Amino acid sequence: MAEHDIDLFVIGGGSGGVRAARIAASYGAKVMIAEEYRMGGTCVIRGCVPKKLFVIGSHVQQELEDAVGFGWTIPQASFDWSTLIANKDKEIARLEAAYTVNVEKSGARVVKARAVFEDAHTLRLATGETVKANHVLIATGGAPNHGAEIPGIEHVISSNEAFHLPELPRRVVIQGGGYIALEFAGIFSGFGSDVTVIYRGDNILRGFDEDVRAHVRAEMEKRGITILTRCTVTKVDRHGKEFTTHLSNGSSIASEQVMFAIGRHPNVANLGLEKAGVAINPKNGGIAVDGWSKTSVPHIYAIGDVTHRHNLTPVAIREGHAFADTVFGKRPARVDHATIPTAVFSQPEVGTVGLTETEARAQFGFVDIYEATFRPIKATMSGRDTRVLIKLVVDGASDRVLGCHIVGDAAAEIIQAVAIAVKMKATKADFDATIALHPTAAEELVTMRTPTARHVRQAAE
């Protein structure tokens, strides 16, 4: 084998690639990481971080409204979109700099340029430089997908552009029913926009627990967000600064902005993968990998959204760390993709871990459901019409808690702690033996004693 310039070349400076580069360098590997846009990737630059900042900001109007019930008289507040954007940009720039500095401190070299394969060991940079690497890690992430071409698709924005709008639109149409669509629906609505969500399925949040889907939709509609299901956008017309969105049900909607959030695709194009012999997974369009994140080429690995397995930042980070431990730390580590907690920062917020009721009933013979919906203590004074949902899915035979689903304030914060118990295979008896923390919404997790439903799987005939 020819002598290689470096031990590891990482393509992509997002959260997963950065973690892999830093850990590999800490083991003494000679590492280079190439990023063609901005260090930090989707999550830091145009995803979870700016999105969460927007979500926090959009809660303020509701807090002001709720404050009246607690005796506060607050003068009419005003909101400036451009200030939000400027302050968000400042924070993202700070984080990007921190990512770059931390990688360089680890001893890895950062190159701000696109990198493509010349062959299985050779990378060519946009700067003209070529590098030979013993190992290569592909961590190029994913990008928004607008789906099928429709007339007027050029007028549609994605979540990428939503972070840089020059002004807050008065009316917004959002097509999609998943994380991103619902999070931006809450953001725009919270800042004062009139929001309509369009989704092709029978209900939003496909893949989530059915009770969660119904609860979130009802709560969003209470807050004035219009949700239209079983239809799609067929055409978008522009009239100056306004748009007319035509739907498959024959109706149309006027707005100042149209956004699609209907899915994401792995960034696999124009990387020279065919020159390296890296195979694509025909089922999802991502790079095909095994349980160790190894591709069809033994020394080339791929992690994160580019594999289209579990498109979550913490998963990419864990995969990147495990790769570095395995290949350079001589400490084999395989990521367990089961029981991954996740959150939707919609309004209301969703936190979930483990199996849904439908999944549990398909896998287990006896399933017990414990469910509670109630007004949070804050609403008793604010007068707001809102309810919290807490649901436990339990294996009726072993008493093990298979899943937990929460909708309400701080759902994500709660589910992170609950995920530890679910991962440890805690039983319902373990939950019951834990003393409640009162007054909290989360105390319902340990005070629900009687199943609200019990299911016995029918034997196949």
In this structure, the number of other CB atoms found within 10 A of the CB of residue 269 comes to: 9
419, 355 Cβ separation under 8 angstroms: no
d(CA 220, CA 179): 14
Cα separation, 350 vs 211, in Å, equals 12
Place of tokens 């089961």: 338
Cα–Cα distance, 334 to 1 (Å, whole number): 28
Element (DSSP H or E) covering residue 406 = strand 401-407
Q: What share of the chain is helix, strand, coil (3-state, %, to 5)?
A: 35, 25, 40
Token pair of 334, please? 């395989």
- Tell me the C-alpha to C-alpha distance, in Å, between residue 53 and each of 44, 45, 58, 84, 179: 11, 12, 9, 9, 16
**CA dihedral sign of residues 428, 393, 423, 219:** negative
Peptide bond into 439 cis (omega under 30): yes
State the CB neighbour count (10 A cutoff) for residue 206. Answer: 12
Residue 190, Cβ neighbours under 10 Å: how many? Answer: 21
> Which one-letter DSSP state was computed for residue 389?
E
**CA-CA-CA-CA torsion for 124, 128, 130, 135, nearest 10 degrees?**
-40
Place of tokens 């029981």: 339
130-138/300-302 β-pairing: parallel
Catalytic residues: 438
**Interacting residues of 55 by C-beta distance below 8 A, sequence separation 6+:** 183, 186, 187, 190, 345, 347
C-beta separation of 315 from 303 below 8 A = no
Which stretch of DSSP H or E encloses residue 227? strand 226-229
- Give the residue among 221, 187, 223, 216 at the shortest CA–CA distance from 58: 187
Look at residues 373, 430, 370, 380 and name the one whose alpha carbon lies nearest to residue 400: 430
H-run or E-run covering 84: helix 81-106
Lay out the sheet containing 242-247: strands in order across.
Answer: 233-239, 242-247, 252-255
SS3 319: helix
